[in-house]
Structure 1
Amino acid sequence: MRVLADRFGRVATDLRVSLTDRCNLRCSYCMPAEGLDWLPGEEVLTDDEVIRLITIGVDLLGVREIRFTGGEPLVRCGLVDIVRRTRLAAPDVELSMTTNALGLARTAAALADAGLNRVNVSLDSIRPETFAEITRRDRLPDVLAGIAAARDAGLRPVKLNAVLMRGLNDKQAPELLRWALSEGHQLRFIEQMPLDAQHRWSRTEMVEADEILERLEEEFTLTPAAEPRGSAPAELFLVDGGPATVGVIASVTRPFCGDCDRVRLTADGTLRNCLFAREESDLRTPLRNGATDDEIADRWVVAMSGKRAGHGIDDPKFLQPDRPMSAIGG
């Protein structure tokens, strides 16, 4: 079996598969209110193409974890069938999904039955007015219903991802953690990253990890978790002695590039060896032109070998990727 190794000794085993660039929310830190120009349908990988690339990753390249992302994966027609076919092709691989949970109340049970193990849900506030201001949609009850349905369907642990925005929800971190603990969910705060479609990200406006922890420590006692972090992006802290934890994903101020084991496949079939990469490798064209599985695997290996040591956000020459997060996949 080949491995997806780079020049720095890292080996990618975690594949993020974006199923669509479309989303039914308009989060202000991600895209403008009017949305974006979506990919034409013919450019998006078909279900069969998605399954074939996943199978190549698992059988030939050592992929051991698969995360379905978007955009919003729940808007992809045939999602449940894609999960089911992936589980059949990769019975021993962990399958998860990152979602905003809109519509999850209707699909959680079917996704669990199809073989999905768990979900990560984006939730930046449990205040309806703040949620509506950030997402530009008054849909918090639907999101909470989706989260509850995921838990009830056995998609556990439900992990919550929260981005704090200065002047919007930056003072709500403790109440969000209280709610997550009361519901039995695992909360992770994520530093806002330069991946917005508007290219308006500002380091000075970003709520940094140290500030997040200071906010939480106004109400909770946090101690570093003893368990090794490994390649996981979240730095974990025991809450009031544990066993519950809260995580902080400090991609900007405490980068963890040296332990990264992720590779990303966009909805239109390009490979990205880093979330912040400005180069992509086209797998869709050879796939549609009759390339064999081995030939596609070789292209994948070459693409990963060129991965850079780090994202370089602090480098004065850093350029934000042309594609926003919704088009890359998280």
Structure 2
Amino acid sequence: MTLGGPEPAAAAVRTVVSRATDPAPPDMPVAGPLVDRFGRVVRKLRISLTDRCNFRCVYCMPEGDIPWIPSEEILTFDEIERVVRICAAMGVEKLRLTGGEPLLRPGVEELTARLVRVPGIRSVSMTTNGFLLPEKAAALKAAGLSGINISLDSLDRDRFRQLTRRDQLDRVLEGIAAAAAAGLQPIKINAVVMRGINDGEVETFLRWAREQPVDLTVRFIEFMPLDGSNVWTRDLVYTAAEILEQARRIGPVEPVHNDPADPARLYRFADGRGTFGIIASVSQPFCASCDRIRLTADGKIRNCLFAVEEFDLRELLRGGAGDETVAAAIRRAVWVKWRGHLINQKGFVKPQRAMYAIGG
């Protein structure tokens, strides 16, 4: 099967701008942790540093020209740190830096060090394609980065080139080795599995991970409808059940005790050689235990990966609003979070932003 299709026209996401004068939703708490109306408490914030990327993965970005966010609309490091300090005061404990490709943002090591020092933040991790890790892994470790997720969807060079539109498999493998040498832990390998494309590599990935001299956790991700070329269909989703079936060809597997808020359901091989995860956002949604929100590179809060509304913080940050006003805007955005996305259900509306513009 060949992936392709028309590139989407640039379209603005319908944005809700939270202001100090906005009335608070009924029953919304004005203090305490960040909680939504269904009782879910936000502990994690994913921060997109840029929408730009040096790869063009078919499940994320269109191949041609992309209308990047203008640089003056991207949050500065001071603005990002301010949002983190405000969120940390409301109970956010863990940060993940994403993109686009976050290592393309100049000074990312400096930002990492600044965020690590924010009171209340227990860990700062990153999701990257790994291309720049050979140069940056040691500096990121020195800055305090705790863990790293590296996207790798194929161990076959030709297939890797087809999926990323770049011939850089060896470079990504070098990046994984550099992360291990620098002492970044945990190292998680994220593989988006697509039926008819790379679904035959699940067993290959697991055998590869079991043979590595360092501890790697491969996490298989069901293909989600956030691609930049509008090729997603339910038929391309290779499900968690099918992934487990391939894993059991290697040997018996058993579930690991999972944090319900972790998107990956973890498993280990009974022989003790290897742990792997499955993120089944499509076939087994985990919305009921979701504890994360997202900050886009241009300063919008998204209370769900599949949200069709965003809440503008940049206007407040650059308009002279105080911390209490910004905190109230974040609290409103969290409070109105929906019960869950509707993938595969009537009423599902695909977000107008693709994954690269949202933040992974």
TM-score normalised by the shorter chain: which range applies? Answer: over 0.9
Give distance in 2, aligned partners of 1:91 and 1:319: 36
Alignment match of 1:109 (pick from 121, 127, 138): 138
Q: Which residue of 2 aligns with 1:69?
A: 98
Give distance in 2, aligned partners of 1:35 and 1:218: 42
Q: Which residue of 2 aligns with 1:100?
A: 129
Comparing 193-202 with 285-294, greater Cα deviation is found at 193-202
Note the alpha carbon deviations across 1:245-296, whole angstroms, 9 max, x for none. Answer: 1111100110110000001000000000000000000000010000011110
Give distance in 2, aligned partners of 1:3 and 1:90: 15
How much has 1:157 moved relative to structure 2?
1.5
Q: Which residue of 2 aligns with 1:190?
A: 221
Alignment match of 1:149 (pick from 156, 178, 181): 178
Contact 1:223 1:241 in 2 (8 A): no
How much has 1:57 moved relative to structure 2?
1.1
Residue ranges of structure 2 left out of the alignment (5+ in a row): 1-30
Note the alpha carbon deviations across 1:141-171, whole angstroms, 9 max, x for none. Answer: 1111111111111111200110112222110
Note the alpha carbon deviations across 1:157-205, whole angstroms, 9 max, x for none. Answer: 2001101122221101111111122222011100000101222210122
Contact 1:26 1:35 in 2 (8 A): no
Contact 1:151 1:157 in 2 (8 A): no
The residue type equivalent to 1:97 in the other structure is M
Q: Give yes or no for the alignment of 1:264 onto 2:294.
A: yes
Q: Which residue of 2 aligns with 1:21?
A: 51
Q: Which residue of 2 aligns with 1:82?
A: 111
The residue type equivalent to 2:314 in the other structure is R
The residue type equivalent to 1:301 in the other structure is R
Identity of aligned residues (%): 49
Equivalent residues in 2 for 1:292-311, closer than 5 Å: 292-311=322-341
Alignment match of 1:129 (pick from 134, 158, 183): 158
Q: Which residue of 2 aligns with 1:219?
A: 250
Comparing 66-75 with 231-240, greater Cα deviation is found at 231-240
The residue type equivalent to 1:44 in the other structure is I
Residue ranges of structure 1 left out of the alignment (5+ in a row): none
How much has 1:314 moved relative to structure 2?
2.5
Contact 2:147 2:184 in 1 (8 A): yes
Contact 1:20 1:267 in 2 (8 A): yes
Give distance in 1, aligned partners of 2:172 and 2:251: 26
Other structure's SS at 2:109 match: helix
Other structure's SS at 2:234 match: coil
Give distance in 1, aligned partners of 2:32 and 2:201: 46
The 1:120–1:90 alpha-carbon spacing in structure 2 relative to 1, beyond 3 Å, is farther
How much has 1:88 moved relative to structure 2?
2.1
Give distance in 2, aligned partners of 1:82 and 1:35: 29
Comparing 239-248 with 160-169, greater Cα deviation is found at 239-248
Note the alpha carbon deviations across 1:117-162, whole angstroms, 9 max, x for none. Answer: 0100111111111111110100111111111111111111200110
Give distance in 1, aligned partners of 2:331 and 2:171: 41
TM-score by length of 1: 0.96
Give distance in 2, aligned partners of 1:34 and 1:62: 41
How much has 1:67 moved relative to structure 2?
0.3
Alignment match of 1:167 (pick from 187, 191, 196): 196
TM-score by length of 2: 0.89
Give distance in 2, aligned partners of 1:13 and 1:166: 33
Comparing 77-86 with 163-172, greater Cα deviation is found at 163-172
How much has 1:241 moved relative to structure 2?
3.8
The 1:130–1:220 alpha-carbon spacing in structure 2 relative to 1, beyond 3 Å, is farther
Give distance in 1, aligned partners of 2:248 and 2:129: 27
Q: Give yes or no for the alignment of 1:38 onto 2:89.
A: no
Comparing 33-42 with 300-309, greater Cα deviation is found at 33-42
Give distance in 2, aligned partners of 1:261 and 1:317: 24
Other structure's SS at 1:12 match: coil
Other structure's SS at 2:149 match: strand
Aligned pairs, how many? 328
- Structure 1 outlier segments of 4+, above 6 Å: none
Q: Which residue of 1 aligns with 2:316?
A: 286
Alignment match of 2:83 (pick from 24, 46, 53): 53
